[in-house]
Structure formats: structure tokens, C-alpha cells
Amino acid sequence: MTVQTFKTLGQVLTHWSQIQPEHKAYTMLDNNGVEESHITYGELHSQAKKIAQTLLGSGLQSRNVILLYPPGIDFIIAFFGCLYAGVIPAPIHAPKRNRSNQKIASLVHSIDAAAILVPEAQKETYDQILSKEENWPEELPYIVTDRLFNLSPLATPELPDLDGSTLAFLQFTSGSTSLPKGVMISHSNCLSNLEMALSVTSATPESTFVSWLPHYHDLGLVAHLLHSFYGGSHCVILAPTTFVSRPLEWLRAITNYGGQYTGAPNFAYQLCVDKIRPEEQKNLDLSCLRMAINAAEPINAQTLLDFSEKFAENGFKPQMFLPAYGMAEGTVFISSGTLEQEPVYLEIDLDILGKDNIAVETNNDTHKKRLVGCGHGKLGEQLFIIDPQRNCEVPRYHVGEVWVTGPNIMAGYYQNPEATAKTLVSQKGDRLYLRTGDLGFMDEDGELYITGRLKDLIIVNGVNYYPQDIEICVGQAHKDIRSGCVIAFSVPGKTAEELVIVAELNKAGMTKMGQSGYLEEMVEAISSKIGEEFELSVTQLVFLRIGRIPKTSSGKLQRQQCKQMFLQESLDVLGRWTQSDGTQESQEAIHTQHLEKTFDEIMSMGFTHLQVFTNLMQMFTKDYEVKMVEFDLEKPLLVYGIDSVKLTEIHRQLQRKLECSLPIEVFCENKNVKGMLNEIVGAMSNNSH
């Protein structure tokens, strides 16, 4: 089967309903992993057709409708009903009680929705929640789709004759850097993307997919629900909440149904590593898997290695992982590795990457980063790495913006010509290129590596830092920081950009935040870890309660929104530290103790130590606003905002004051002051011999 065979997604469903009407298309599991319902291809065709005829009778052809469904088969029937009728569905997440649903109201307005499709069980609840929103449209009708399943087939109206250029559906961008936009996907876009995916997987009617991913997210909708249907396969579905509360159920479903194809963002595999206990693993059998996609967020190499090691006893092999890269604007699939080949890893020098934007392989354990390759484009698609300033292609291993061209690229953003013009650009004739906004590079074999988002890039003292690297580092700094709930960004300072960290604390951390010395403990742990890994100082640390970090509906961190909330002081802050606050200890007695302890220790070291320390403190207090009464010899200089750039100037001045040459290597902001003093005095002693 090829994309040339069919013009629309509806024709594909009609085909499978005729070829294998009794074959299971989708199976829904309940919260305990027990089969709740299923539907065959014949039933799906019949019920979707009834919905299509009702939609046509309501005059909705070519109009946009919102699909508001919990996970399950009702959504799938409604979605295909829209496709048959030429109605454009826009799946979104369900509204939440006691929370603002302004975002849903904004999405409804942004696409001029003509109706909302809902299941009967949720209609009244959703209506009560959404009608409270200030700008909710009063006349927007609800269509309850499951009431239509038992109707007799209608003779009229006839289903419209659609072609590949017809808009199939709208899928909203993740909104990780801005308000979600309606991505217009034509039937041709989607069929091309599904053909690309099938060229990788070779899925057949004998194949089984297992997915817990949200149906309103491109990875869940296209890469699983539609990919499965395109191959005539069977897809087993769990609710996202089932997975998050009990990750074991995902792997149990794979075991019980012999799942060959599955996938998720990186955090899901890490959750399995962290939460599934050894005794729970005993009855798992993952040997049936052919593909486990890791996509939709930055791929952590260590997660792949840890998952492979943990579940090796259950038949999981590293070559089952399929690292991939995609986005809604590319329908979903842009690049991937190859089945039955292990992920491609590349260890690069982090310092050179930051300073020169070039990926250089390294064996240096101190400042290296292990990247995971995201494969190549497929079929008629082409990938390029472009310098966003000079608008030209860069050499291999040089970092630039990822551009993509191919038949799977969106038609544009709905009623947003300005955003469309910025994202779809014309080069080399009439061909359109998608500017992804992602930074990456290719190796000599054309393997794609993603390094970060262009908008999120942090630049301090002329060096580029990728926020996800800093966020992972912070997450490892202290056991009370919630994994995957850290955001790093920069704000303008007096002389340069300054680093801000916003982090959620777990229950233990929330309880301890009021205790004396706890905030100082967290500051030191995070400052030391970031200093060690990146030679950066943190200007501000903000701690939040569980669930307060801004994320999209699909779980992606919203760095730009978080930054705006920080600047507007609208974050729900549990605890805060700024560099100018010092250690946050303001009691006079504590300050006096610090001062006495510091001078007692320096005096005991000898005259040379005192001479060096006195000169250093003159510079620290005069030029860098360090408060002597709060100074602690045991803390690294980064706690006081003294980074590698400032130390370079301190090194120059100290050599002049002491009238001797000192190696720059002894001036390391990661060390505590005592250690640095010892090395400086040792270097002075060597010079005198």
C-alpha cells in the first residue's frame, strides 16, 4: 500500500473495513489494564459514517469543530466521522475542574469552531466548567456523538468527494514557547507522513501497537492511532493518567497483547526506571517489541542505557529503541533511526559546543555531553542545517537551525499568516521549507542530532548554554528537587545576562522549606553542581510547590511562559534566593560567628595565606559586592556570583598586587575558597625556589 493508492484517510478506512471487517482496530483498557471495549474496522467504518451524515445534515462540511473527549474509542469514531464528512476536527485536552480553562476558550476562538463534539457522559460536566470562562461563546452547540451509534444508516446526504489537498484536521502546537497555533494538516500531508512511518516499521494487519499517549498530541494521534490504522494493525490504548499513576501498566499491556510497536517521550522511560520495582518486573515479557520510539522531548542518553539495563531480564534489547525527531508542523514524523539497530551515540566537548557552535568528539570526562542521534529523513523528505543569521547551510558538525522540506510539511497555521510566513519560507524556487526553531547538527553520515530550541538558548559571556542540560544538572543536585520539573532561563543583569533557576520541590522539600538552613543547603547544592558542570553562577533560585511549574498539556516545559511569569512576579513562590541576599542568614550573632571562624582559620594557616586572603577580600567586597560578614571559606565562589570570567580579572589583579606570576588553573570557581588559597600559596612557594 502506498500513498498514491488513496487520496484521503477516509478511503484508507473504507479499504480496511472491506478487506478485514472483523479485525480489531482499537482496544481500550481500563485503569487496571483490563479490556474495557474494542471496535473492529467494520464497526468503525459504520459508526463513523453515521456521525459523518449527521455532521453533514447540520451543515458543518468544511467547518472546524472541537473534539473534547477523554481517552478512548468514542474519540476515534468521532475523528473518523469528521474525516468522512469533510469536517475539520481539532482534538484538544479535556477541561479541568477548579482550574482556569481560558486556554481552551482561546483555542476555540482561534479556529472559529462551529461546534464541539463530546460523548454524552461528559457533555453536562464539560459545559458547566467551560461556560464559566469569561469569553466562552454562548451559542456554540454541542453534538453528542455516541447517541448516533444506534441510529439506522441514512440514505442521504452522500459523503463528499474529497481529495488530498483537502484539510484533514487541525492539531495544535505544543505551546512550549507561545500560545498554541492550529497546524493545518491536509489528507496528503498525513498520508505522506504515515507512508514515511510505515517505511520504517513495515507494520501489517498482524502487528499490534500499544499507546498511552494523549490523542490530542501529534505523537499519540499520528504516530500511534493513525500509524496503526494505516497498516491495518491493532492498537491497544491506555489512558495517560493510568500510565502516570502506574507506569507498570504500560509494560504489562505490551506483555499481555504481544505489543510490537510503542513509544513515548524520554520522561516515560525514566519513570519506568525509577518507579517499577524489581518484584513487579518478574512477569513482564518485552521480547515481542520491535520498536520503542523515544521522541517529543530531548532524549537523554543515560535514560536509554538505564532502561535497557533494567529491563534486559525481561527481554528488552537496546536495538528496540527508536530515537526520533518530529513536530506537529511536520505532521509528526521528521526523522528516525532504523529498526533493529542500536541508538547512535556521540560524545562531544561541551565547552567547544558552547563557545564555537561546533560538535567535536571528545573522551574528556570533565566537560562532555553524550548526544543521541535522531536518524535521517525518509522518502521524499530532506533535512538541512541552516545558519539562522546568514541564512545559509553550515558544514557538518556545525550547529544551526533544522530546516525541513517534504510532502509531510503543514499547509500553514490556521488564520495566522504572519506566523506561517515566519515558519514556512521559500528557497530554491517554489519549494517551501519548514523552519523548526530547533538547533542541531549532522555528522558525516547525515545523522541528525538535536541540541536545543533556538528561542530557549541561554547566552552568558558569549557562551551558548542549552537549558535542558542545566535543568538535568539541577535535578541531580539534590534529592528534594522533582525530576523533569526544573526550568532554566536568563534575564538581563547589570552587565550581562544572568541565570535564573525555577524548580519544583517534592513533598519532603516542601515540608523542609520553612526549616532553618534548608534554603542555604539547596542553594549550595545547586550552585556547586552548576559551577562544576558549566562554570556558571546562579543569580536567582525560585522554588515552587508540586504542579506549579508551567507545562503544556502534553507535559513539555514552557520556558518562555515561566520566564514571563518570573518577570511579572506571578509565580506561586514557595522559597526564593537571590545572589544579593547572600546566605539569607541575617542574624547578627550568626554573622559574628562566621567572621570569627573565618579569621581564626586564616590566622592558623600562616602569614602568606592571610596576605593572599586579605587581597582577595578587598577585591570581592569592593568590586563584586560580597559581604565579608557572610563569607564562608568552605563554599565555592559561585555561591557569591564569582564565575570564571570574573576570576580571570581577579587573577590579573592579584598577580599585580602580589608581584608574582600565578597559573590560571588555580583560579577555579568550583573550588571552595580554602582550597583555592592553598593552591595559590603553593604556586607562590614554587615561584620562590
- Give the pLDDT confidence score for residue 619 in this predicted structure: 82
Which CATH entry fits the domain spanning 9-336: 3.30.1180.10, 3.40.50.12780, 2.40.50.140, 3.40.50.300? 3.40.50.12780
Q: What is the mean pLDDT of residues 520-534?
A: 90
pLDDT in tens, 23-38: 999 999 999 999 999 9
Which CATH entry fits the domain spanning 588-688: 1.10.1200, 3.40.50, 2.10.25, 1.10.10? 1.10.1200
Measured distance CA(1)–CA(142) in Å, rounded: 37
- pLDDT over 70 at 1, yes or no: no
pLDDT in tens, 407-463: 999 999 999 999 999 999 987 667 899 999 999 999 999 999 999 888 898 988 778
pLDDT in tens, 501-517: 999 999 999 999 989 88
Mean of per-residue pLDDT scores for the chain? 89
Number of H helices, E strands in the chain: 23, 29
Q: For residue 545, what pLDDT band results from cuts at 50, 70 and 90?
A: very high
Residues of the chain with CATH 3.40.50.12780: 9-336
Report the phi/psi class of residue 34: left, alpha or beta, with left for phi > 0 and alpha for psi in -120 to 50. Answer: beta
- Give the pLDDT confidence score for residue 2 in this predicted structure: 46
pLDDT in tens, 268-277: 999 999 999 9
- Give the pLDDT confidence score for residue 70 in this predicted structure: 95
pLDDT in tens, 28-80: 999 999 999 999 999 999 999 999 999 999 999 999 999 999 999 999 999 99
For residue 177, give the nearest of 415, 423, 385 by alpha carbon: 423
Measured distance CA(116)–CA(125) in Å, rounded: 13
Measured distance CA(45)–CA(491) in Å, rounded: 54
Measured distance CA(231)–CA(303) in Å, rounded: 30
**For 458-581, which CATH class?**
alpha beta
Residues of the chain with CATH 3.30.300.30: 458-581
Q: What is the mean pLDDT of residues 331-354?
A: 95
For residue 645, give the nearest of 517, 522, 506, 495 by alpha carbon: 495
Which range has highest mean pLDDT (127-136, 234-243, 356-365, 529-538)?
234-243
- pLDDT over 70 at 254, yes or no: yes
- pLDDT over 70 at 389, yes or no: yes
Report the share of the chain in percent with pLDDT over 70.
91
- Give the pLDDT confidence score for residue 92 in this predicted structure: 95
- pTM for this prediction: 0.79
- Give the pLDDT confidence score for residue 585 in this predicted structure: 42
- Give the pLDDT confidence score for residue 173 in this predicted structure: 86
